[in-house]
């Protein structure tokens, strides 16, 4: 009898769980902008992953016969000043740009989450220091801060990721910290403490899972910012080396006055690729937040 | 209150010291030899380098050098650029007005338009102005400002030939046309965010109990709108605006580059390209002082507005 009751409860929980999940999916699908965002992001990913199949052109192979050529059936989006196919460069360059953004966002969020958990849970002087540090880092205009760090560490793909992670942890830190401050007073945490569970275990196996959705949303929302920063830095000449195609280095390559004025497709293509991607991820992230945020239920 | 202010100022001084020390130590470890750099390849010899090093006191312990640097700053001597030898005080500060000129205007214009349109779109929710405002906000959020600047140049300078595409001071005639595009490129992204923020805060406040109470008491609608909703939603908006003041010091690097605008942003990018560390360092310190002052201002304002903050500290 008792056993029966137990299975019933579990089944109910499972049923309710799937129901909630279905409800969330339905809510997301009802949000047209979010669905649009997700579809565009998926198309981007598909095209970038299948780049060798989608386009026959090598992104690094110059061909002076088609130097600065406009869009045509052969070269869908035209060619740059060295005659490299722009469509192919957008796809291969997108791989690097997006990968940099995603890795930076992952590392940055991890740093922010761990620091936020520690600061929020323990409080005290360490927390105060972290909050001050966060204040300074998040106050600086992002590009300036990154530029200053570039001046000290130097440029290059991996340096860029390190810099982005070091300067981009503050959003996650704030969110996780405030969640931890609120949740550490809750009964289930008090119970764990009374049972003598270690602080680390309480923080990471009891409180963190409840906060994780917030972190995931924040992580997604950080990605567009990194894409734009990579492009900005590379555009100014402090990002990824010019030999590596990214959306930023493509913009940089189109910076010469002659190209800017007479061959706008050279910078319009990477610029539009950035805008559309950023727009799509923003829409998707907004939709995700609406669905995942427990306060919205 | 006085105690709180003194405490905050003291923390600020300590923080400036800590930040400057971090920058100073980082500078020492960049691996670039300022003496060799300033001498150049042709004039370099071990003896002259050693002599200069001795003369400048570069052989002293780090901590001595650090305090000497601070002493000089108090005397108004900020050091010299390694790359070009100009005095940093003149080189960087002299460029600031050019940056201020565009950033200040961009801030003022974006604030007026942002709050105005934000208010209107909260008032007439789901009207044309609301949709337009939201579209601009979305666009401003997803367009890097330098790309936006390029598009503006393409349309208004090249296709239409209405406005100059670069430079600050024209050969002849008014300077105002030169200002329009850089200011627009800076202001429109700023506008979008502010619009959205103002709109959302006002809608939040409009749903509060005390607004409903005011309405049910029969207070005229315009009075509810301005006295209860607008005033209470301005507090978070003002905080956002204060944080934006940092743009005045260097929020325009990319736009300055596109428009060949001779401001501090260009100085900074040149300094980074040339490994001109004293300049970068001064700039960073300058920024840090600005940031901390602003954050102090925000806290102070918070304490003045909200008595709970005052009592807590």
Residue B263 belongs to domain with CATH number? 1.10.3720.10
The number of domains in chain B is 1
Give the highest mean pLDDT range of B35-39, B66-70, B79-83.
B66-70
Please report whether residue B205 resides in a domain.
Answer: yes
pLDDT band at B40 (very low <50, low <70, confident <90, very high): low
- Residue ranges making up the domain that contains B198: 94-305
Q: Which two tokens stand for residue A197?
A: 């569970």
Q: Which residue of B has its CA nearest to A223?
A: B142
> Average per-residue pLDDT in chain A?
84
Please report whether residue B99 resides in a domain.
Answer: yes
Whole-model pTM: value is: 0.83
pLDDT at residue A109 tops 90 = yes
Direct distance between the N- and C-terminal alpha carbons of chain A, in angstroms, rounded to an integer: 35
| 3-state secondary structure (DSSP) of residue B57 | coil
pLDDT band at A106 (very low <50, low <70, confident <90, very high): very high
> Is B298 within 8 Å of chain A by CB?
no
d(CA A97, CA A235): 13
pLDDT band at B30 (very low <50, low <70, confident <90, very high): low
Q: What would the pLDDT profile of A2-34 be if each residue is shown by its tens digit?
A: 556 666 777 776 776 677 788 888 888 888 888
Q: Any residues with CB less than 8 A from the CB of B257 and at least 6 apart, and which? A: A235, A236, B146, B265, B266, B269
B160 min Cα distance to partner chain A (Å):
12
| 3-state secondary structure (DSSP) of residue A85 | strand
pLDDT band at A112 (very low <50, low <70, confident <90, very high): very high
d(CA A19, CA A296): 16
Per-residue pLDDT, A205? 85
Looking at beta carbons, which residues of chain A come within 8 Å of B254? 143, 232, 235-236
Superfamily designation of domain A41-57+103-296: MetI-like (1.10.3720.10)
Q: What would the pLDDT profile of A272-287 be if each residue is shown by its tens digit?
A: 999 999 999 988 988 8
Please return the burial class of B81, using the count of CB atoms within 10 Å of its CB with bins 0-12, 13-18 and 19+: buried
Q: What would the pLDDT profile of A161-194 be if each residue is shown by its tens digit?
A: 888 888 889 989 988 998 888 888 888 888 888 8
pLDDT band at A227 (very low <50, low <70, confident <90, very high): very high
Determine the average pLDDT of the residues in A229-253.
86
d(CA B311, CA A217): 36
Per-residue pLDDT, A2? 53
Which of B142, B246, B288 is closest, CB to CB, to A141? B246
Do the beta carbons of residue B228 and residue B217 sit within 8 Å?
Answer: no
Per-residue pLDDT, B41? 65
Closest to B264 measured CA to CA, from B98, B104, B123 = B98
Per-residue pLDDT, B313? 44
């Amino acid at each position: 009898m008792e056993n029966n009751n137990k299975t019933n409860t579990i089944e109910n929980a499972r049923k309710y769980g799937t129901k909630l999940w279905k409800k969330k999916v339905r809510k997301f699908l009802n949000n047209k902008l979010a669905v649009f965002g997700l579809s565009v992001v998926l198309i981007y990913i598909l095209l970038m992953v299948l780049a060798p199949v989608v386009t026959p052109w090598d992104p690094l192979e110059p061909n002076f016969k088609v130097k600065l050529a406009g869009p045509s059936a052969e070269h869908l989006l035209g060619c740059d000043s060295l005659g490299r196919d722009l469509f192919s460069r957008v796809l291969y360059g997108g791989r690097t740009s997006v990968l940099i953004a995603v890795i930076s966002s992952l590392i940055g969020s991890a740093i922010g989450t761990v620091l936020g958990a520690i600061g929020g849970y323990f409080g005290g002087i360490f927390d105060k220091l972290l909050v001050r540090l966060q204040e300074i880092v998040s106050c600086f205009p992002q590009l300036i801060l990154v530029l200053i760090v570039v001046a000290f560490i130097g440029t290059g793909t991996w340096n860029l990721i390190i810099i982005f992670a070091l300067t981009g942890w503050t959003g996650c830190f704030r969110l996780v910290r405030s969640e931890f401050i609120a949740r550490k007073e809750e009964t289930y945490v008090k119970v764990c403490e009374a049972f003598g569970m270690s602080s680390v275990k309480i923080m990471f196996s009891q409180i963190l899972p409840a906060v994780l959705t917030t972190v995931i949303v924040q992580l997604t929302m950080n990605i567009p910012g990194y894409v734009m920063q990579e492009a900005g830095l590379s555009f100014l000449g402090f990002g990824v080396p010019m030999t590596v195609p990214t959306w930023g280095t493509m913009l940089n390559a189109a910076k010469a006055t002659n190209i800017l004025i007479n061959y706008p497709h050279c910078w319009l293509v990477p610029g539009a690729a950035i805008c559309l991607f950023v727009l799509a991820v923003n829409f998707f992230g907004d939709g995700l937040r609406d669905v995942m945020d427990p306060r919205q239920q | 209150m006085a105690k709180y202010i003194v405490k905050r100022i003291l923390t600020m001084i300590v923080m400036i010291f800590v930040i400057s020390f971090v920058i100073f130590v980082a500078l020492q470890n960049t691996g670039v030899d300022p003496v060799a750099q300033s001498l150049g390849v042709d004039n370099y010899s071990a003896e002259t380098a050693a002599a200069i090093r001795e003369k400048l006191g570069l052989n002293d312990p780090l901590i001595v050098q650090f305090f000497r640097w601070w002493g000089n700053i108090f005397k108004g001597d900020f050091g010299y650029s390694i790359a070009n030898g100009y005095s940093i005080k003149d080189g960087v500060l002299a460029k600031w007005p050019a940056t201020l000129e565009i950033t200040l205007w961009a801030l003022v214009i974006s604030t007026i338009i942002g709050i105005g349109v934000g208010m209107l779109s909260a008032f007439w929710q789901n009207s044309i102005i609301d949709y337009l405002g939201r579209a601009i906000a979305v666009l401003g959020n997803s367009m890097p400002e330098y790309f936006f600047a390029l598009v503006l140049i393409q349309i208004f300078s090249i296709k239409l030939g209405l406005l100059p595409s670069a430079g600050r001071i024209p050969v002849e005639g008014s300077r105002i046309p030169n200002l329009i595009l850089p200011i627009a490129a800076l202001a429109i992204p700023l506008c979008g965010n502010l619009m959205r923020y103002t709109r959302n805060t006002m809608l939040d406040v409009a749903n509060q109990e005390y607004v409903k109470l005011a309405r049910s008491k029969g207070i005229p609608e315009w009075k509810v709108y301005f006295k209860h909703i607008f005033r209470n939603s301005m507090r978070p908006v003002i905080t956002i605006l204060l944080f934006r003041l940092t743009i005045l010091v260097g929020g325009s690097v990319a736009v300055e580059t596109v428009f060949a605008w001779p401001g501090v942003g260009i100085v900074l990018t040149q300094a980074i390209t040339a490994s001109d560390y004293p300049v970068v360092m001064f700039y960073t310190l300058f920024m840090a002082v600005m940031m901390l002052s602003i954050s102090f201002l925000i806290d102070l304002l918070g304490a003045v507005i909200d008595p709970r903050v005052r009592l807590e500290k």
